[in-house]
Amino acid sequence: MKRVCILFLCAVTILSCCASALCEALPTAMELFSADPAPDVPMRSDPAIDPLTVLVNKEEPLPWDYIPPLVPLEVPHKPGVSTQQMVPDAAEALTRLFAAAESDGISLGVVSGYRSYGTQKSIHARKVAQKGRATAELTSAPPGKSEHQLGLAVDVSSASINYRLNAIFADTAEGQWLEAHCAEFGFIIRYRAEWQKITGYKAEPWHIRYVGPEHARLITSLHVPYEIYMGYLKLCWDARAHLPATPDAARLAADH
């Protein structure tokens, strides 16, 4: 275990020297990952084999023809919005999230779920025409670079603010409930104001991304952007991949 930690911390140190934006978020996470016992990092979700953990951002785009398996969302939507879609795991988790919210007296509504490359291209072009590229791209992803194309992201709002997608959602009872509970159902708040230099986007308290409950709880407790978290996970996987495989060797590694 100590060997894993040393490898991990060396890698984190190298990483921290390479990217100044990452440095701001590292101390907290380094303390947590070097704690004894270390957090129980889920090991089954390698992004190479688990599409639920795929990172999509301005540097990591999706192919234009990527279309995930989709099912309709069986939860309330913003009036006038057609039934939206997500991948089955995310849709099922969102149904449970909405039911839990209702039982707490909180009414949410879906504004936007899966968006195709073509739809994102149209939305983005309109925003750029309205605001100019630099401003538009603080709130609107270029085609191929939106989590909505994964079918794992959904924009949620409430009647209390007329279902607007606005920063004031964070101050509503609905927004605060979502912030407090979404990780229990496998979702994370993807874009926060303090992460803008890393994510490239302004705060979006309405945009939640499904990653599964194990990852969501850990990401929320670490309070780091998904970019940083995936960096940690890859370092952990690399470190553990270098551990000896036999029981005796593994025990020796643990003893030292």
Asked whether position 155 contacts Zn ion by CB under 5 A, the answer is yes
Contacting range for Zn ion; rule: CB under 5 A; set: 16-24, 32-40, 135-143, 207-215: 207-215
Smallest gap from Cβ 73 to Zn ion, in A, equals 14
Nearer Cβ to Zn ion, position 207 or 215? Answer: 207
Choosing from 137, 147, 174, 204, the catalytic residue is: 204
Distances (CA, A) of 192 to 47, 145, 173: 23, 18, 18
Smallest gap from Cβ 71 to Zn ion, in A, equals 19
Asked whether position 207 contacts Zn ion by CB under 5 A, the answer is yes
Contacting range for Zn ion; rule: CB under 5 A; set: 14-22, 58-66, 116-124, 199-207: 199-207
**Catalytic-residue membership of 204:** yes
Smallest gap from Cβ 208 to Zn ion, in A, equals 8
CB 221 within 8 A of CB 190: no
Contacting range for Zn ion; rule: CB under 5 A; set: 46-54, 96-104, 168-176, 204-212: 204-212
Nearer Cβ to Zn ion, position 170 or 235? Answer: 170
Smallest gap from Cβ 70 to Zn ion, in A, equals 16
Closest residue by beta carbon to Zn ion: 207
State the Cα–Cα distance between residues 41 and 60, nearest whole angstrom: 23
Nearer Cβ to Zn ion, position 145 or 207? Answer: 207
Nearer Cβ to Zn ion, position 203 or 219? Answer: 203
State the Cα–Cα distance between residues 187 and 65, nearest whole angstrom: 25
Contacts to Zn ion by CB under 5 A: 155, 207
List the catalytic residues: 204
